[in-house]
């Protein structure tokens, strides 16, 4: 990220003609890279099918049962983590975790549908300041949390590690478990919050450490989509909780307004939608006035 920022700053110092040439070249490389990723993603289900077919043919249907149990246990872990751990954190900060879930239910539903945390980012950046959290707090905590506060990713990597170790009968001592845990805690930071980001980081970590067989990672691909939904949900909601808690501790929050939004989320959502419509109408009005076009009078209800 640091290299990207420095490189971007260096590009801004170049002449326009040189900058255009470099930008065109980077766009071409980007298109080629996305084409490569597209080919891999199209062929990945075939590889996952082969890996699962080999595992089922070797070990019988017990492998399918084990994968189903893995998904159910992982969802149970995520549910306990959200309600117990995050619930306790919210309780210390003076909020109710279930009311908070209800307030951001639209964004969380979108995360579950896309299995990606990125889909909820625009909505959270718009909704959280409207609840009473300072714009500075939201702008700092939420984007930073998307890169470093990845609770679901850490849980997913830990559970998948134990699953593969048990599946292959590999005994991992306490020192090996702690060592792999520390490595994954580092590699999980900065993982892409799009669908599949955790899987890529986990596969690369397993290949680099050598504790577990790399071919075992392909077995998880068949059920990773179901696990990715829970991972994205936990990551996103963890950032929502972190934003409210940090803002409360730093006194960058209108506590009464936040509690009112949590107590009556439907009314808050209606007020937010009305404010957005009023803002769009005002922008259109200002744009028309700036262009010198005649501006129609707004209805009385819209003006009030």
What is the mean predicted confidence (pLDDT) over 206-229? 81
Locate tokens 């070797």: which residue? 58
User: In the chain, pLDDT over 70 holds for what percent of residues?
Assistant: 81
pLDDT at 281 over 70: no
Q: What is the token pair recorded at 210?
A: 């050598």
Task: Please tell me which residue, 253 or 52, carries the higher pLDDT value.
Answer: 253
Tell me if 221 is assigned to some domain: yes
pLDDT given at position 297: 45
pLDDT given at position 59: 65
Tell me if 191 is assigned to some domain: yes
Query: Could you tell me if 83 and 246 are in contact, meaning their C-beta atoms sit under 8 angstroms apart?
Result: no
**Ranked by mean pLDDT, which of 59-68, 233-242, 284-293 comes out on top?**
233-242
pLDDT at 35 over 50: yes
Q: Which of 216, 249, 24 is nearest to 133 (CA)?
A: 249
**Ranked by mean pLDDT, which of 2-6, 69-73, 253-257, 271-275 comes out on top?**
69-73
CATH of the domain at 83: 1.10.3860.10
Which structural domain, as residue segments, surrounds residue 193?
39-263
Q: What is the pLDDT of residues 128-183, one digit of tens each?
A: 888 888 888 888 888 888 888 888 888 888 888 888 888 888 888 888 877 777 88
Tell me if 289 is assigned to some domain: no
pLDDT given at position 237: 93
> Residue 71: which residues within 8 A CB-CB, separation 6 or more?
223, 226, 227
Tell me if 196 is assigned to some domain: yes
Q: What is the CA angle 167-173-176, rounded to 5?
A: 95
Average pLDDT, the chain: 79
Q: Provide the CA 72 distance to its chain's centre, in angstroms.
A: 21
- 296 secondary structure, DSSP code: P
Tell me if 286 is assigned to some domain: no
Tell me if 12 is assigned to some domain: no
Q: How far from 86 is each of 32, 78, 92, CA to CA, in Å?
A: 42, 10, 10
pTM here? Answer: 0.71
pLDDT band at 86, cuts 50/70/90?
A: very high
Cβ-based neighbour number of residue 107 at 10 Å = 22
Q: Which of 217, 223, 234 is nearest to 68 (CA)?
A: 223
Task: Please tell me which residue, 79 or 188, carries the higher pLDDT value.
Answer: 79
Strand partners, 193: none
Tell me if 290 is assigned to some domain: no
Q: Which of 134, 144, 135 is nearest to 255 (CA)?
A: 134
The whole-angstrom separation of Cα 134 and Cα 69 is 42
Rg (CA), the chain: 24
Strand partners, 113: none
User: In the chain, pLDDT over 90 holds for what percent of residues?
Assistant: 13
Q: What is the token pair recorded at 235?
A: 């990551």
pLDDT at 304 over 50: no
The whole-angstrom separation of Cα 41 and Cα 20 is 31
Q: How many structural domains does the chain have?
A: 1
The whole-angstrom separation of Cα 111 and Cα 230 is 9
């Amino acid at each position: 990220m640091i290299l990207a920022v420095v490189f971007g700053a260096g590009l801004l110092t170049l002449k326009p003609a040189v900058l255009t040439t470099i930008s065109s070249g980077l766009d071409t490389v980007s298109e080629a890279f996305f084409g490569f990723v597209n080919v891999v993603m199209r062929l990945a289900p075939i590889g996952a099918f082969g890996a699962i077919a080999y595992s089922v043919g070797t070990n019988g249907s017990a492998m399918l049962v084990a994968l189903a149990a893995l998904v159910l246990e992982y969802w149970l872990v995520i549910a306990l983590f959200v309600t117990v751990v995050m619930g306790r954190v919210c309780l210390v900060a003076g909020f109710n975790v279930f009311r908070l879930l209800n307030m951001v239910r639209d964004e969380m539903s979108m995360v579950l549908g896309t299995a990606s945390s990125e889909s909820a980012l625009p909505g959270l950046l718009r909704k959280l300041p409207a609840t009473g959290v300072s714009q500075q707090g939201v702008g700092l905590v939420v984007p930073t949390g998307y890169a470093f506060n990845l609770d679901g990713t850490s849980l997913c990597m830990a559970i998948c590690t134990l699953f593969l170790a048990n599946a292959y009968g590999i005994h991992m001592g306490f020192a090996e478990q702690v060592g792999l845990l520390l490595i994954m805690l580092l590699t999980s930071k900065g993982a892409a919050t799009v669908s599949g980001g955790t899987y890529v980081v986990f596969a690369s970590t397993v290949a680099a450490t050598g504790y577990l067989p790399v071919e075992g990672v392909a077995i998880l691909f068949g059920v990773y989509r179901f696990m990715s939904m829970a991972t994205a949900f936990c990551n996103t909601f963890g950032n929502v909780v972190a934003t409210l808690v940090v803002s409360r501790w730093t006194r960058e929050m209108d506590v009464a307004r936040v509690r009112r939004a949590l107590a009556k989320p439907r009314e808050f959502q209606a007020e937010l939608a009305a404010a957005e419509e009023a803002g769009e109408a005002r922008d259109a009005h200002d744009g028309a006035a700036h262009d010198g076009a005649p501006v129609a009078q707004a209805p009385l209800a819209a003006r009030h």
